[in-house]
DNA sequence: GCGACAG
DNA sequence: ATCTTGTCGC
């Protein structure tokens, strides 16, 4: 079995080690102190022996060392021998419920009734006959982390009035996360806390319960997102997950928009390429569809405020079309990051500060 | 040339 | 994500 570890150094000098499979050999430059190196490596080897017991495709653990011989904290995945594939199975079970525009097209072809965005409200800016309700309450969720202990997090849910962009509801909870951050598997780390906050609000039948949710993280803009729409179960190891916004959206069954502050590289899309296109396409709206090498549209890049060159990345979460998602993001942007997400971010960080 | 990969 | 500095990006 081939394994590797990534070593970071935290502010207080602790070594943070991520041990994983399928990666490259550790580079020797990461251990620059020769005397420590021996101890350090032997400790790690013994941990490897304990933590990694399956053959391949296992993420074992994240271990934080205070010293080479002392472990401060370690995360392990919940099941005894979890594999990436276990996680994928969980998500596949909820993927079947995902409703996107594409699925609705498929439904209409089958002679079904649903041909529009799947919600009963409408945007204030859109004229429509009938007396349907107007989108008013927009939720936003985010997590902040303790600088001292990166397993301590504060998840926050806010609800904003769309017209005024003022916060009308706020709730948060501080938890210890069990699952490490793994690129592509963000949902497993962050979704549980956020779902709890949403469930709590729903169970109380709160009158500000959001009609739409904005999530700090991608939706279909994800290595496996494309396959949500078209495949029930694609057993390819490269595509093992999908975005946080989809994950949450399906589980709370709300229209959901994903907003990323950085691009998750997918299907040939890179930061530089997007920048290039955005510059070339001097569209007045500052929006660019993110079309990958395969021709699939994963989402959109948008320069949301005048001041910022750096775009945000919008993608579908659930029960909404990209067009509508973009429109809502634009309506909620006072600064680069849409207000619901920005407020959740600010307030969760604040709560964490005051709590410690 | 190294490494790319949301939070 | 978090730390901070400085000012851009391959």
pLDDT given at position A163: 95
Give residue A292's pLDDT: 82
Give the model's pLDDT for residue A355. 80
Strand B closer than 7 A to residue A260 Cβ: yes
Residue with CA nearest C1' of nucleotide C9: A272
pLDDT in the model for residue A101:
56
Residue A227 CA to residue A249 CA, distance in Å, equals 17
Instruction: Check if residue A299 sits with its Cβ under 7 angstroms from strand B.
Output: no
Q: How far apart are CA A240 and CA A252, in angstroms?
A: 21
The single-letter DSSP state of residue A247 is H
Contact, A143 CB vs strand C, < 7 Å: yes
CA distance A243 to A345: 19
Q: What is the mean pLDDT of each run of 10 residues along chain A (356 residues)?
A: 39 42 32 34 38 31 40 41 51 59 44 50 79 90 90 95 97 87 76 94 96 94 55 31 79 90 87 82 76 84 82 88 92 94 95 84
User: Sign of the C-alpha dihedral, residues A75, A79, A81, A82?
Assistant: negative
Asked if the Cβ of residue A273 lies within 7 A of any atom of strand C, the reply is: no
pLDDT of residue A22: 33
Establish whether the CB of A144 is closer than 7 Å to any nucleic acid atom in strand C: yes
Q: What pLDDT was estimated at residue A118?
A: 72
């Amino acid at each position: 079995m081939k394994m590797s570890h990534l070593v970071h150094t935290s502010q207080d000098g602790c070594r943070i080690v991520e041990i994983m499979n399928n990666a490259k050999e550790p580079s020797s430059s990461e251990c620059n102190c020769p005397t420590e190196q021996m101890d350090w490596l032997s400790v790690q080897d013994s941990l490897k022996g304990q933590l990694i017991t399956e053959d391949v495709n296992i993420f074992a653990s994240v271990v934080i060392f205070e010293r080479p011989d002392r472990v401060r904290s370690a995360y392990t995945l919940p099941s005894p021998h979890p594999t990436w594939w276990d996680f994928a199975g969980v998500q596949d079970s909820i993927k079947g419920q995902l409703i996107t525009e594409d699925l609705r097209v498929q439904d209409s072809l089958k002679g079904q009734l649903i041909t529009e965005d799947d919600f009963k409200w409408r945007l204030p800016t859109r004229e429509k006959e009938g007396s349907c309700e107007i989108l008013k309450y927009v939720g936003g969720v985010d997590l902040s982390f303790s600088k001292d202990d990166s397993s301590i997090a504060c998840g926050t849910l806010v609800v904003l009035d769309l017209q005024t962009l003022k916060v009308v509801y706020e709730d948060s909870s501080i938890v210890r996360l069990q699952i490490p951050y793994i690129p592509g598997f963000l949902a497993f780390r962050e979704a549980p806390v956020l779902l709890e906050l949403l469930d709590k609000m729903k169970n109380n039948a709160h009158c500000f319960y959001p009609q739409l949710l904005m999530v700090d993280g991608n939706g279909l803009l994800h290595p496996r997102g494309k396959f949500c729409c078209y495949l029930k179960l694609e057993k390819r190891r490269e595509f093992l997950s999908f975005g946080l916004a989809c994950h949450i959206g399906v589980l709370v069954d709300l229209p959901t928009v994903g907003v990323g502050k950085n691009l998750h590289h997918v299907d040939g899309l890179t930061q530089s390429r997007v920048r290039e296109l955005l510059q070339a396409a001097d569209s007045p709206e500052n929006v660019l569809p993110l079309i990958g090498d395969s021709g699939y549209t994963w989402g959109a890049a948008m320069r949301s405020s005048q001041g910022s060159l750096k775009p945000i990345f919008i993608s579908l979460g659930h029960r909404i079309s990209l067009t509508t998602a973009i429109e809502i993001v634009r309506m909620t942007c006072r600064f680069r990051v849409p207000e619901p997400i920005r407020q959740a971010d600010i307030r969760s960080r604040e709560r964490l500060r005051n709590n410690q």
